Amino acid sequence: MGILDKKLSLRNRSKMLVGIWEDEDKLVEATSALVHDGVHIHDIYTPYPVHGLERIIGARRSRLARVAFFCGLTGFILMTTMIWYMYVLDWPVNVGNKPVRFTPSWIPVMFEGTVLCTAYGMGFFFFWRNRLLLGVKNDLLDDRQTDDRMVIAIECVEGMNESDVLNTMKSNGAVELRELINGVQTTI
């Protein structure tokens, strides 16, 4: 699977049903109703975190914390190795009769290197994972999903009663319903 999750991409989807909401409470109610009816929700797009949605749709916990730990560990090892090389191996200088082995003066440099590698690593992997790198076309179902609208995307599978799904979304406060067929959206 890799770090880029192709299962979340909207490309190469034959048919999807899209519902757009203005109110987060109605979105949570609609999500609960759809999951209760046995509908598999592909993804939900919101401009800000809506608490409880990840639990309702069964989303897994992010792996970004693990990435942060390994980036921080890499930074710590790199800084410790760099300081040891400079102070002990490359240019050992006896300043004030201090020992050449580890001293407390190494701690700030190791800490800052750890924080630097963690921050840059998390930023890079976050943008890579969410397909926000330069040149990658974004998958927006609605331009307002980054501003004030919330969107549910449901991939149509064989045996799904689409009219029931659309009625459930409409009865639970969807302000707009769309159908996405091979990349072309039509309003229902």
End residue of a domain, out of 103, 129, 155: 129
Average pLDDT over every residue of 7-27: 81
DSSP state at residue 89: I
C-alpha span between 22 and 20 (Å, rounded): 7
Instruction: With respect to residue 3, please indicate whether it lies within any of the assigned structural domains.
Output: no
Residues present in the chain in total: 188
Place of tokens 């639970």: 172
Q: Which of 129, 149, 173 is the last residue of a domain?
A: 129
In this structure, the answer to whether residues 123 and 166 fall within a common structural domain is no
Q: Is 40 in a helix, a strand, or coil?
A: coil
Q: Among residues 113, 129, 145, which one ends one of the domains? A: 129
pLDDT given at position 4: 46
Segment of 23-27, 101-105, 126-130, 140-144 carrying the highest mean pLDDT: 23-27
Residue among 145, 125, 170, 166 nearest 15 (CA):
166
Q: Give the mean pLDDT of 122-142.
A: 78
* Same domain assignment for residues 22 and 53: yes
Q: Are residues 155 and 121 in the same domain?
A: no
Number of domains in the chain: 2
pLDDT of residue 3: 43
Which residues constitute the domain of residue 98? 64-129
Q: Does residue 145 lie in a domain region?
A: yes
> What pLDDT is stored for residue 10 in this prediction?
65
Q: Mark whether 76 and 125 lie in a shared domain.
A: yes
pLDDT at residue 156 greater than cutoff 60: yes
Q: Could you give phi then psi for residue 15, rounded to 5 degrees?
A: -150, 135
Considering only CA atoms, give the Rg of the chain: 25
Q: What is the mean pLDDT of the chain?
A: 85
The pLDDT of residue 160: 85
Task: Give first-to-last CA distance, the chain, whole Å.
Answer: 34
